[in-house]
Structure 1
Amino acid sequence: MQATDIRDCPDDAFIERMRARFPVETEIDRTLTRKMRLRRNGERYAAHTLDELVTATASLIRANVGDDFTIANPRWLTGGASKIQVAFDLDWTENGERRQSPMVLRMEPTESVVETSRKREFELLQALDGVVPVPPCFWVDAEGEHLPHPALIYGFAQGVTKPSNLTSQQVTGIGLNYGPDLRATIAEQFLEQIGRFHRIGAELADKLPSYDKAEVGSNESVIRFVNWWRRVWDEDRRQDEPLMDVAYDWLIANAPPLDHVSLVHGDCRAGNFLYDEDTNEITAWLDWELALLGDRHQDLAWSMMDSFGHFNEEGTERLICGMLPYEEYLAAYERLSGLTVDRERLTYYRVLCNYMSIAICLGTGYRVAHAAKTHQDIVVGWLAMVSFPLIEQLRRTLKEVI
């Protein structure tokens, strides 16, 4: 490793070189450029007290609704590796009616393991109202004018991410086991609701001004997405990894044109939705920060990552996302979504999802932990550790196609 690393304190020339080499969506470019310009200030993560965040949250709410509200019962929310979250109760008047609304503040740390746009997340949550269950989204502080960092406020959604009788302490979604009695019910809803937002990407596009559009018959959106994660890798990595160069070249050369424009969740897996343990119904889809207009196969491939699955009780079949065996999973998706699965496209996106996960874990995960940029240094440090099984997974997948 070099004694000094331009990535620790990037100058304008380095930032502009990354922007020119790897063209990405307009809002993604703004977000990543902002990250690099802030990084050279050398700011490290500093804990904010609840009182500080309540005061800043009140400033954001006041700018939108005036002074007639009170905030009560603020408390930290655990879970997740990327954002700081605080739950609170808001007494306010909405549409002429006095309400007591449970809410959540979702704010970036100094630098996140996935650097994304709160503006995009805000637009998408509003656009998805009535499509699939999502928390209502109220206000956004896109540039951190009120909060210490960019943030949004959304309604608190009821439910759990995993059965409450599970005693394991693994990162949510990693090897999550719903158990034989629950998994079929969850799988049916999970795949049917994925199908809903996969079908209507083109219809939602006009409601998403911070998203670059995607077109059937073009691979431009795919190449932008590949470049997103190549740019993240080149901006954040602490070491060379030749396999990432091989994979990038292959992904650009083989980028398939879209056959259908989908809304892609981007982190589509167990652990990123809530369900009610009494009814077993999904109550809210969470963590839309990586969403884009693109190819449905990306979500399918991401959900099939080795780390999100586990074997059944007999040890005879691996369950995708802890739900269904591979062929049953794809067949159920086609039945419930009305969309087809192209196995060749799926293989392409398996490579791309491997590539993306390594950029996040070995690139950004290591950097933000090492540079003390986040409140979740232990979790993101763990992500850096699991990079090496991910590299082996990428090697095996590339070997199938090269």
Structure 2
Amino acid sequence: MSHPVLSFTEAQRRHPDEAMIARIRDRYPTEPEIDAVLTRKMRRRRGDPYKAVPIERLVAGVTAMIGEELGYEAQVSNARWLSGGASKLQMVFDLAWRGLDGQAPESVETLVLRMEPAASVTESSRRREFEVLNAVQGVIPAPRPYWVDPEARHLPYPGMVYAFAKGAAKPSVGVEKVSGLGQNYGPELRAKLAPHFVFLLARLHTVDPGECTAMASFMQAQEGSNASVIRQVNAYRRIWEEDRIEEEPFLEVVYQWLIAHAPPVDRPSIVHGDYRSGNFLFDEASGEITAWLDWEGAVIGDRHQDLTYATLPTFQHLSEDGRSVLASGMMPKDDFYAAYEAASGLPVDPVRIRYFEIFNRYLVCVLTLAASARASLQAGTHQDVLVNFVSQMGHTAIADLRERFLEVTR
């Protein structure tokens, strides 16, 4: 069933009213928690632009949040900003406390506050990120979550507190890449990291999400149904409608194709959503991955989404021989898929691979040309310079999408 095209002015996008928000919500239905986050983003846009948050304000907020959760007074000290990432505001601090039940001997633990700015590259739910981190404990190395303030009762914006994870984000030698994009780990470290990179993805995807009671704000994906895929496509189409600063008619063609060709999920999996180079910490000596980060895009869906995301051109580079292209700096794409099949026991379906190659390229275009551009334009983030840089990557991304779309659809 076709619908008339929605049409909004730049002034409406800058200051959306409830009628505009309601029309977009109705046109592009998605998961309730994602709907709530995107609706909050639009309402927040009518307010003041982002203002720098003093670290003292965060210390006061996190102290109040932790005290309420624990039921006794714990001491926050040595607060300092934590760099890294292109979307969230992070503060690392030390907590002197007596454990969750208040009965343990007093000790000091280093923790991280991860909080939203007024706008970001990826508008996401701290509640969902908190839940998925709980669900994967003992399955895949990830920071242990402690507390979440999903409605910003104590903090300026929604945030969560989790354990500080140890490890390096990049090699000690070599060229540093923005957010790890195209990071080259070098042949020696790569040989250690690559098998663990594949093994952990296989472990994640073989968990039964139906048994993950912690993930209460996630809608389950049903085997044999494409409804979960369509909900995700609609979420990104909604972001495009809300955030874009210029028209790109080709993206509407791709959206319609993604809806018409959405494959049924053959086996529901927990999908990380941003599984790639630059999003994990590692021990450089052993080559062991010590923590997977940035779970904000996690969904319950199709494993092929993670597989094709890790192989996007943005995250690859040539090997030292100048002939092989290494997916996420690890191994050639075909070798990656073969290693994944061996590690997981799950098939890699070429039809679903082609679909999610288009899906992920569409996602990148939306997040760069719309979400990033809007966040920078309206001064909604502490990362204006970086977010503006990310938005310019959208022009390369849409050219890559067009090329792959024509290959798949011809």
What TM-score bracket applies, with the shorter chain setting the length?
A: over 0.9
Q: TM-score scaled by structure 1?
A: 0.97
2:192 pairs with 185, 188, 197, which one? 185
**Mapped partners of 1:390, 1:204: distance in 2:** 37
- Is the Cα–Cα contact under 8 Å of residues 210 and 220 in structure 2 kept in the other structure? no
Among the aligned pairs, what percent are the same residue? Answer: 46
- Is the Cα–Cα contact under 8 Å of residues 209 and 268 in structure 2 kept in the other structure? yes
**Mapped partners of 2:346, 2:169: distance in 1:** 27
- How far residue 271 of structure 1 moved from its aligned partner, in angstroms, is 0.9
Matched, 1:50 2:58: no
Give the residue type in structure 1 aligned to 2:18: D
Give the residue type in structure 2 aligned to 1:301: T
Give the residue type in structure 2 aligned to 1:319: L
Q: 1:401 to 1:119 in 2, by over 3 A?
A: same
Matched, 1:18 2:32: no
Q: Structure 1, residues 178-235: CA drift from partner, whole Å, max 9, x if none?
A: 1001112211011111111111143444321100111000000000000010000010
The number of aligned residues is: 400
**Mapped partners of 2:56, 2:215: distance in 1:** 34
Q: Structure 1, residues 6-51: CA drift from partner, whole Å, max 9, x if none?
A: 110111111011111001001000111111111122x211111111
- How far residue 167 of structure 1 moved from its aligned partner, in angstroms, is 4.0
**Mapped partners of 1:90, 1:122: distance in 2:** 19
2:121 pairs with 103, 113, 124, which one? 113
**Mapped partners of 1:182, 1:363: distance in 2:** 36
**Mapped partners of 2:119, 2:10: distance in 1:** 20
Aligned twin of 2:241: 234
**Mapped partners of 2:146, 2:26: distance in 1:** 35
2:216 pairs with 190, 209, 216, which one? 209
Aligned twin of 2:138: 130
**Mapped partners of 1:364, 1:358: distance in 2:** 9
- Is the Cα–Cα contact under 8 Å of residues 28 and 238 in structure 2 kept in the other structure? yes
What pairs up with 1:142-221 in 2 under 5 angstroms? 142-168=150-176, 170-221=177-228
- How far residue 148 of structure 1 moved from its aligned partner, in angstroms, is 0.3
**Mapped partners of 1:201, 1:265: distance in 2:** 14
Give the residue type in structure 2 aligned to 1:26: P
Aligned twin of 2:323: 316
Q: 1:5 to 1:204 in 2, by over 3 A?
A: farther
- Is the Cα–Cα contact under 8 Å of residues 122 and 152 in structure 1 kept in the other structure? yes
Give ranges in structure 1 of 5+ residues lacking alignment. Answer: none
**Mapped partners of 1:164, 1:339: distance in 2:** 35
**Mapped partners of 2:80, 2:172: distance in 1:** 21
- Is the Cα–Cα contact under 8 Å of residues 316 and 326 in structure 2 kept in the other structure? yes
Aligned twin of 2:292: 285
- How far residue 119 of structure 1 moved from its aligned partner, in angstroms, is 0.5
Matched, 1:141 2:149: yes
Q: Structure 1, residues 284-313: CA drift from partner, whole Å, max 9, x if none?
A: 111000000000000011111101000001
Q: Secondary structure at the match of 2:180?
A: coil
- Is the Cα–Cα contact under 8 Å of residues 201 and 293 in structure 1 kept in the other structure? no
Q: Structure 1, residues 72-111: CA drift from partner, whole Å, max 9, x if none?
A: 2111111101100000110101142222111000000011
**Mapped partners of 1:241, 1:204: distance in 2:** 41
Matched, 1:397 2:404: yes
Q: 1:201 to 1:356 in 2, by over 3 A?
A: farther
- Is the Cα–Cα contact under 8 Å of residues 205 and 213 in structure 1 kept in the other structure? no
Q: Secondary structure at the match of 2:77?
A: strand
**Mapped partners of 1:201, 1:270: distance in 2:** 25
Matched, 1:63 2:71: no
1:298 pairs with 264, 288, 305, which one? 305
- Is the Cα–Cα contact under 8 Å of residues 127 and 204 in structure 1 kept in the other structure? no
Give the residue type in structure 1 aligned to 2:43: R
Q: Structure 1, residues 243-265: CA drift from partner, whole Å, max 9, x if none?
A: 10110010000000000001000
**Mapped partners of 2:374, 2:299: distance in 1:** 25
Matched, 1:7 2:7: no
**Mapped partners of 1:4, 1:64: distance in 2:** 43
Moved more, 200-209 or 143-152: 200-209
Q: Structure 1, residues 326-374: CA drift from partner, whole Å, max 9, x if none?
A: 2111111111111110111111001000101111000010110011000
Q: Structure 1, residues 94-143: CA drift from partner, whole Å, max 9, x if none?
A: 14222211100000001121111000111111111111111111000001
| Aligned-CA RMSD value | 1.4
Give ranges in structure 2 of 5+ residues lacking alignment. Answer: 1-7
- Is the Cα–Cα contact under 8 Å of residues 187 and 323 in structure 1 kept in the other structure? yes
**Mapped partners of 2:313, 2:387: distance in 1:** 19
Give the residue type in structure 2 aligned to 1:87: V
